[in-house]
Amino acid sequence: MTPTTTRAADGVRPPGGTTPGKATPGARPAPAAGRRQGRRETLAGYLFLTPWCVGILLLTLGPMLVSLYLAFTDYNLFDSPRWIGFKNFQDLFADDRWWTSVQVTLKYVLIGTPLKLAAALAVALLLVKPRKGQGFYRSAFYAPSLIGASVSIGVVWRAIFNDNAIVDKSMSLFGWDVGGWIGDPDWALPTLVTLTVWQFGAPMVIFLAGLKQVPSELYEAAEMDGAGRWRRFRSITLPMISPVLFFNLLLELIHSFQVFTSAVVIAGSGTNTGGPGDSLLVYGWYLYEQGFRNLRMGYAAAMAWMLMLGIGLVTAVLFKTQRGWVHYEEDAR
């Protein structure tokens, strides 16, 4: 690397990072010229940063602030927003359907996430040891999460679990006659959960990386001490990959709370309700319905901030508890 490229890279750093002048003093012939050049490069850096800065201001921070403001207004998308204080939040707590959406989402998160992580870990354990066709299997299991949020998978799921479709027919052979799973208020949500569990590819890849980091000496030593498979898994694998597990858990929880596309597509987007008897009315869907169908954008904004609070709370609790079960290598030292 030439000194020029090093400095150019430094210049791209966001404010607060090392200043180019300090970074490589030896490489500069004269301090004054260096400073001038440094300033120019800083300027270039900022210029390169501009699209990103404009992006975060206009597309992330701006909308968030507007949404926070709208949460305290009555806004129907067409007339200008009217300040109503905390009324949207009060209405939320009195809204039966809001509570339904909270319940449906919690069920989805609390059942779906552990199952998904268990499936991801189980398959990762199978695929971590070198074997024939390993690459193929890894890609095959990963594929479903690549096409994860797509509408097409929802459509396929709907076709599979519909009345008189393949699942219904094959289950009937064994005397288990549900009928159309998607139309049955008791089975619609489990259908949605199976879809998320099936898409375990992304956490699986992360688990694979984590499993590869576990030193094989530990297993060898344990085996010599006569530890069985289960014992080795519990006492070595789990603690060693607990940071990865923590990361996956956090990511999947946050992701699950925001479920939308699959629920809407499975229940049929042309319907006016959240699936049979609102059994698929996930939080994101109700928010969307209030905002864009019922034209209650202020209410929807309040819902969004409640969701953010909820996710924040869950994340905070997880971080608090991680001391108890997540083991980082530094702790061992």
Partner 1 sequence: MGAGRWTARARGVRAVAAVVAALGLLATGCGGGSGSGDGKVTIRYSWWGAKDRAELIQKTVKLFEKEHPNIKVKTDFSEYTDFWSKFNTQAAGGNAPDVFQNSYAFLRKYGDKNLLLDLNGQADAGNLSLKGFRDGLEKAGDIDGKLLGVPVGANTFAFFYNPDAFQKAGVTVKDGWTWDDFFAAAKKVRKSDGTLYGASDNANVMYLYDLYLRQHGKAFFTKDDKLGFTKDDLTEWWGRWQQHAKADELVPGKKSEQAKPKASISADLSASEFTWDNFLVRFAAETKTTLDLGPIPTTDGKRTAQYLSSLMLSGSARTQHPKEVAQFIDFMTHDPEVGKIMGYNRGIPATTAQYDAYRPQGVDAKIAAYEKSVSAKLEPITPHPAGADVAEAAFLRIYTQVALGQSSMGKAVDQFFSEAESALGS
73 by DSSP, 3-state: which?
Answer: strand
Q: How far is the CB of 83 from partner 1 (least distance, A)?
A: 16
Q: Compute the residue count for the chain.
A: 333
Helix pair 96-128, 134-146: axis angle to 10 deg: 170
Q: Kindly calculate the radius of gyration of the chain based on its CA atoms and give it in whole angstroms.
A: 26
Task: Answer yes or no: are the C-beta atoms of 152 and 245 closer than 8 Å.
Answer: no
Strand (E) or helix (H) holding 84: none
Q: How far is the CB of 272 from partner 1 (least distance, A)?
A: 4
Query: Which is nearer to partner 1, 98 or 200 (by Cβ)?
Result: 98
Which residue type does 197 have?
A: V
Is the four-CA dihedral 322, 326, 330, 333 of positive or negative sign?
positive
Beta carbons within 8 Å of 131's beta carbon, 6+ residues apart: none
269 by DSSP, 3-state: which?
Answer: coil
Query: Which is nearer to partner 1, 153 or 188 (by Cβ)?
Result: 188
Q: How far is the CB of 96 from partner 1 (least distance, A)?
A: 6
Q: How far is the CB of 23 from partner 1 (least distance, A)?
A: 15
- Interacting residue ranges for partner 1, rule: CB under 8 A: 2-4, 7-8, 29, 33, 37, 40-41, 43-44, 47-48, 50-51, 74, 76-79, 96, 163, 179-180, 182-185, 268-273, 276-278, 288, 292-296
Q: How far is the CB of 176 from partner 1 (least distance, A)?
A: 15
Query: Which is nearer to partner 1, 95 or 238 (by Cβ)?
Result: 95
- For the chain, give the longest Cα–Cα distance: 87
- DSSP for 94-143 reads H-HHHHHHHHHHHHHHHHHHHHHHHHHHHHHHHHHS--TTHHHHHHHHHH
Query: Which is nearer to partner 1, 41 or 252 (by Cβ)?
Result: 41
Query: Which is nearer to partner 1, 110 or 151 (by Cβ)?
Result: 151
Query: Which is nearer to partner 1, 177 or 329 (by Cβ)?
Result: 177
Q: How far is the CB of 139 from partner 1 (least distance, A)?
A: 34
Long-range contacts of 69-75 (CB under 8 A, 24+ apart): 70/297, 70/298, 70/301, 71/298, 71/301, 71/302, 71/304, 71/305, 72/298, 72/302, 73/298, 74/296, 74/298, 75/296, 75/297, 75/298, 75/301
Q: How far is the CB of 44 from partner 1 (least distance, A)?
A: 4
Q: How far is the CB of 28 from partner 1 (least distance, A)?
A: 10
Q: Distance (Å, rounded) from C-alpha 67 to C-alpha 89?
A: 14
Query: Which is nearer to partner 1, 48 or 325 (by Cβ)?
Result: 48
Query: Which is nearer to partner 1, 164 or 216 (by Cβ)?
Result: 164
Structure tokens, 231: 């014992």
